[in-house]
Amino acid sequence: MASKTYSYLADVYNDMMRFIDYRTWAKYIIVLSRLTGNKNKSALEIAGGSGTLAKLLYNRFSFYVLSDLSSEMLANSSPVVKNKISCSFYNLPFKKKFNFVFSTFDSVNYILTKKNFVLMLEEVANILEDDGVFTFDVSLERNSLKHLKNLNRQGEVNGIKYFQKSIYNPKTRIHTNRFDIILADGEKVQEIHKQRVYLFNDYFQMIDKSDFYVYGCYKTFSFDDADESAERAQFILKKRKPNAHI
Ligand SMILES: C[S@@+](CC[C@H](N)C(=O)[O-])C[C@H]1O[C@@H](n2cnc3c(N)ncnc32)[C@H](O)[C@@H]1O
């Protein structure tokens, strides 16, 4: 039977991501955070996983909170990141508002329905200061098609073996990753991850239904405008003024 996502996978996640240039990613996030005009204020990272970026970013803000649905992922984050909370981005349990909220590595593609996407946006809008910025990256179809082969891989870390099988269905636009994991004691477990590859324009429609507007939408790691041919797009959202729904 399939286990909860990012439970067993948490112990091999950092190994799977070992070639990812999180330092460059952190620099990009810092530049985006300055769009608030409020340098070094409070930041909330949602779906922050095992906190690799949090470790690089927590001391660049006066207050930093790392959050993720998976307590197993958070448990593997660095102890230098003090404020961590396990919560869903559909239900953010904060009384305090933040100047900057962000999510990385196509975590929002885990949202499988448009209704839930708008729900996530509303939840973030509730805990973001009126002049704050919310930014997230999304994986587009070109990314799914181009990297499918590389996502069929296997590895081993600390006696745990993992095998990833990746399938993209262009009809349903669901990208499925199946992880078969053999734990150090020989037990076999499985996680099935489903992500939805929305059309580029879907994002604009969903954002239109929320209290946000698109301040910028770039090819990830750049400031060049993205379009539907991009592999990944970085959305930068700001809050509309009250009653400014178009
Ligand atoms: C691909 S990982 C990215 C982790 C991290 N941002 C990074 O760049 O390494 C996706 C993360 O999204 C989290 N996630 C999925 N659904 C979530 C939800 N509803 N609320 C909060 N986090 C969620 C998972 O637990 C996982 O840690």
Report pLDDT digits (tens) over 66-90: 999 999 999 999 999 999 999 999 9
pLDDT tens by residue, 209-225:
999 999 999 999 999 99
What atom in ligand 1 is closest to the CA of residue 25?
Answer: 8
**How much distance in Å is there from the Cα of 161 to the middle of ligand 1?**
21
The number of C-alpha atoms within 13 Å of 67 and in the hemisphere containing its C-beta is 20
Counting every residue written for the chain, the total comes to 246
- Best mutation site among 68, 78, 101, 220 for ligand 1, i.e. most ligand atoms within 8 A of its Cβ? 68
Which residue CA neighbors atom 26 of ligand 1 most closely?
Answer: 49
Contact 69, 85 (CB under 8 A): no
Per-residue pLDDT at 38 exceeds 70: no
Neighbours of 83 (CB within 10 A): 12
Residue 209 phi, psi (nearest 5):
-85, 0
Q: What CATH architecture does domain 143-196 belong to?
A: Single Sheet (2.20)
How much is the mean pLDDT over the chain?
95
**How much distance in Å is there from the Cα of 94 to the middle of ligand 1?**
18
**How much distance in Å is there from the Cα of 105 to the middle of ligand 1?**
8
Per-residue pLDDT at 202 exceeds 90: yes
Q: Supply 116's token pair.
A: 């839930």
Distance from C-alpha of 79 to C-alpha of 161, rounded to nearest angstrom = 26
Which residue CA neighbors atom 4 of ligand 1 most closely?
Answer: 49
Please work out whether the CB of residue 73 comes within 6 Å of at least one atom of ligand 1.
Answer: yes
Q: The domain 19-139+199-239: what is its CATH number? A: 3.40.50.150
**How much distance in Å is there from the Cα of 109 to the middle of ligand 1?**
9
**Domain ranges within the chain, ordered by starting residue:** 19-139+199-239, 143-196
Distance from C-alpha of 239 to C-alpha of 125, rounded to nearest angstrom = 7
Distance from C-alpha of 194 to C-alpha of 118, rounded to nearest angstrom = 18
Contact 155, 15 (CB under 8 A): yes
